[in-house]
Chains A and B, each alone.
Chain A
């Protein structure tokens, strides 16, 4: 009973902060609300006993990526006056499109839903670091190594993109 109340509170808080990300006019506030959303999603991972992903989500998303977003926002020196706003018609159209997407997804998943299944799973060990590490370094070791190439490409690309303009100006 108390778990039910906790999960309902967490779920509604997640949706509320996600809505605030979209609705708030100031981009910095959006970033802060997004950090809160990521922390709430982390709490859901913990409730499903996916401990490794909970920690990774907290460190990578709420830590690294969001700090990167905040740094770029500070770098760009935005304010409320130059914040671009869509027209009312475009916003209304987007709302209708998104609402129909929500309806279609719910209708599509309604029949496959696992109604009444408790989130205490059969095999409680799968989310732990030991089990996932076993999988990662045996079955998925090739993909894991290719990831390093992806990161080198992303690093080189980011440095190149952010630097090239300065040389042209000089």
Chain B
């Protein structure tokens, strides 16, 4: 059939989103943008899980996506507070400066 109405279109979008997030996480040096790219990759995986859940007619994957969102919320909270703490010490948001976190 046509590409737009089929489920694999959503799969391709999810794969491309994941790759874009990975490229962003490797390219950018701003710590906050890095966290945002990780959120983008999490969302790509969520989209793929929902697509497969729709295909198999099974709700378990959607529950899994719900738990992924919960963990992502907790992860963003703790990650951002770590960034705030490190910014107070280093006055920078460059990830190359964050190798001094041990002292």
Contacts and interface: CB of A to CB of B under 8 A. Distances in A.
Q: Do A and B bind each other?
A: yes
B32 A22 contact: no
Interface size class of B (residues with CB under 8 A): 35 or more
Interface in B24-73: 24, 26-30, 32-33, 35-37, 39-40, 43, 46-47, 50-51, 53-55, 57-60, 62-63, 65-67, 69-73
Given A14-B17, A53-B62, A83-B30, A162 B76 contact: no
Given A15-B20, A53-B66, A65-B72, A106 B12 contact: yes
Given A64-B73, A69-B35, A147-B70, A21 B30 contact: no
A18 B40 contact: yes
B59 A30 contact: no
A contact patch SS: helix
B67 A15 contact: no
* Interface of chain B, main secondary structure: helix
Contacts of A49: 54
Nearest to A78: B93
Interface of B: 1-13, 15-24, 26-30, 32-33, 35-37, 39-40, 43, 46-47, 50-51, 53-55, 57-60, 62-63, 65-67, 69-78, 80-85, 87-89, 92-96
Given A50-B54, A76-B83, A123-B57, 14 more contacts: A15-B20, A27-B32, A37-B43, A41-B43, A52-B62, A69-B80, A85-B29, A105-B15, A114-B8, A116-B6, A139-B60, A158-B78, A161-B82, A165-B85
